[in-house]
Copies of this chain bind each other. A is one copy, B any other.
Amino acid sequence: MDFNESKNIFLQIEEWLNNRILDDKIQPGERIPSVRELAEEMEVNRNTVMRTYSTMENKGILENKRGIGFFVAIDAPKIIQNMQKTEFFEKELPRLLERIKLLRLTSKDLAELVTLIKNNDHETQN
């Protein structure tokens, strides 16, 4: 995995895992790779992965069975979604709006955005 130099690795792994859960690539109740496995796969130290798993366990996203492994909590998707939605509207969106203003982005740039979001309307009730 290629990591962003300006952000902690264990946080980037958490983000990666969160996205996989939200995207149903890992499902609630399912077991995730062991600390050692993921560490080797990502070419990272055991302790770094351990730190990711621990923080996610504290947030209720992961559950742990000693001697067996880590599992995705049943309501993990909901927890992640709530967390990220808050983060999105309170920090990322304001930052995005500011960026759009400063960079003078136009409707042409917006096209792809709109069509994508329209599709979400059809899937969910609003």
Residues of A within 8 A of B (CB): 6-8, 11, 19, 22-23, 81, 84-85, 88-89, 92, 96-110, 112-114, 116-118, 120-121, 123-124, 126
Residue of chain B at shortest CB distance from A82? B103
**Given A8-B6, A113-B113: A99 in contact with B121 (beta carbons within 8 A):** no
Interchain CB contact under 8 A, A106 and B88 = no
Closest to A118 in B: B107
Task: Contact check, B84 vs A107: say whether CB atoms are below 8 A apart.
Answer: no
Of B102, B108, B118, the contact of A22 (CB 8 Å cutoff):
B102
Contact A124 B99 (CB under 8 A): no
A102's partner among B84, B96, B104 (CB-CB below 8 A) is B84
A104→B88 contact, CB < 8 A = no
CA distance A103 to B124 in the complex (A): 11
28 contacts across the A-B interface (CB closer than 8 A):
A6-B7, A6-B11, A7-B7, A22-B102, A22-B103, A81-B103, A84-B99, A84-B103, A88-B99, A89-B109, A96-B113, A97-B112, A97-B116, A100-B113, A100-B116, A101-B116, A101-B120, A106-B121, A106-B126, A107-B117, A107-B118, A107-B121, A107-B126, A108-B126, A109-B117, A110-B114, A110-B117, A113-B113
